[in-house]
Amino acid sequence: MKRIIVTRAAVFAAAIAAGAALSAAELAYDTLISHRGESVDAPENTLPAYKTAVERGFGFECDVYLSNDGRVFTFHDKTLKRTTGGANTNACGDVSWGELSRLDVGAWGKWKGSKFAGTRPALLEEVLGLARDGRWIYVEVKPGPEIVPYIKDVFGRQTQATPVNTLFIVGNTNTLAAIKKAMPQYKAFWCLYSRKAWLDDAAPWTAEEIVSVLKATGSDGVDFHYNPEITTADMISHVKKAKYYGVRPHGNNQPVLSFATFAFFAAKHQSRVGLFRVERCKSAAIGIT
């Protein structure tokens, strides 16, 4: 079922202002994704953020790490420092779940003194309990392949998250290959920046290089940062012709005007890329799948 939210109106208005006249009919959005949960209205990567997304009718994206005693939990950064307000500066994988469960990730930055004080990191099994058909949970796997058996175990002990409502996005190619080997029924996308480093002058990934990695890992497609100079129709066509499920450019925390450019691109090449998703985050973001 297609769902439309106010966030889209801002995107369309910006697109028109940029000279790209779009209508709702041209943009067939089927899935709305909250980035790290509804991270404007609740602390990122927490159960309140995920639950708010579900209550509003959206799917969501979460990031997962592995504790040193084998629990899979949601967190974005490599260290615990930022969203614990500096209370714990260890790497995510260097602490036990006992330690993690005592951390407050609901009182940092603008959340200090808010109703979310005392919120702890979420366990993957808690997150999967929010899965609903008709929307997606995107599980971004951060560590190396050592986490995969634990993820598989969590999925095996529940029935709500399934291949029709949950997929993986993975940056580490060894982890990506391990996910596809262990859980082949689930879609998994290679997640990468459009360039080979987070530098404006770094060499971009070519379509041929991307396809080569997808073949080697058994991936279903690619999830990469949207760049209008790199994310071209020819690149998408090349990957699609290689029989991959989809190409999902994303644009997290980009200025609204870049959304307009992306929206115009998406509308123009809808038949090439398949389904669209709008990703709601700190600045709202757009992607396609």
CA-nearest of 282, 222, 284 to 76 is 282
pLDDT, tens digit (0-9, with 9 covering 90-100), for 137-173: 999 999 999 999 999 999 999 999 999 999 999 999 9
pTM value? 0.81
Looking at residue 31, what is its pLDDT?
55
Give the separation between CA 258 and CA 16, rounded to whole angstroms: 12
Closest CA to 139 of 104, 171, 100: 171
Residue 172 phi, psi dihedral angles, 5° rounding: -75, 120
Active site residues: 35, 76
In angstroms, the CA 243 to CA 239 distance is 7
Q: Which domains does the chain have, with CATH numbers?
A: 6-65+135-288 (3.20.20.190)
Residue 138 structure tokens: 């995107």
pLDDT in tens, 176-225: 999 999 999 999 999 988 888 888 889 999 999 999 999 999 999 888 77
Name residue, tokens 């930022």.
Answer: 82
Tokens at 206, concatenated:
């070519």
* pLDDT beyond 50 at 1: no
Helix, strand, or coil here: 278?
strand
CA angle (95, 49, 92) in 5-degree steps:
15
Q: Residue 134 has what DSSP assignment?
A: T
Q: What is the pLDDT of residues 234-275, one digit of tens each?
A: 888 888 888 665 555 555 444 333 444 444 444 444 433 333
CA–CA gap between residue 20 and residue 32 (Å, rounded): 22
